[in-house]
Amino acid sequence: VRRLIQAVAVMLVVAGSVVPAASAGAVGVTGGSYCSVSLPEPTYVCADSPSALASVQSAGSRLAATQFLIARLYDNSNFDTSAGYLNVYAAGDCTLSTGNIDYTMNDLSTWSNRVSSFESFGNCAARLWTATNYAGSAYPSTSTFLVSSSYVGATFNDKAKSAQFS
């Protein structure tokens, strides 16, 4: 009987260790300042360096070949990468018009209260909000977008909790 119990215990341990590894498509979600998110899936993949982030992405093939980089949000101002960034991927470029919203991030999650500068790509421009779900105050304003900003200003620095792309 004891042997059986031991065997069961071993199996439980193995199962316990296998589960996290199997869901390791989510490999880097826990740590690291260099992150990416593929919209509309709100899963953040993070790593300790840009190269580690790249290898996590390719290893987990979390990034479909059809994903386009539409924005990069920086923890530091002046597009400085040393404190980390969040690459935002989407299924395609933004439309040329800024009269519509092409992509949204209703909760910046681990990237809340960090953004100090940003760049947008693929015809996109960005608007940041100080609360989730596009509430609170908006940068640059509730009716405009910016392709890039080297510093979002003292009022919005480390305040963004959601974002829209047009």
Residues that bind Ca ion (CB under 5 A): 75, 114, 116, 158
Q: Which of 132, 52, 131 is nearest to 84 (CA)?
A: 52
Least gap, CB of 143 to Ca ion (angstroms): 25
Nearest residue to Ca ion, by Cβ distance, number only: 116
Least gap, CB of 114 to Ca ion (angstroms): 5
Pair 134, 104: CB distance under 8 Å: yes
Closer residue to Ca ion in complex, CB, 78/143: 78
Pair 92, 70: CB distance under 8 Å: no
Exposure b/e, 98-124, CB count within 10 A at least 16 = b? beeebbbbbebbbbbebbbbbbbbebb
Least gap, CB of 55 to Ca ion (angstroms): 25
Closer residue to Ca ion in complex, CB, 33/166: 33
Closer residue to Ca ion in complex, CB, 85/98: 85
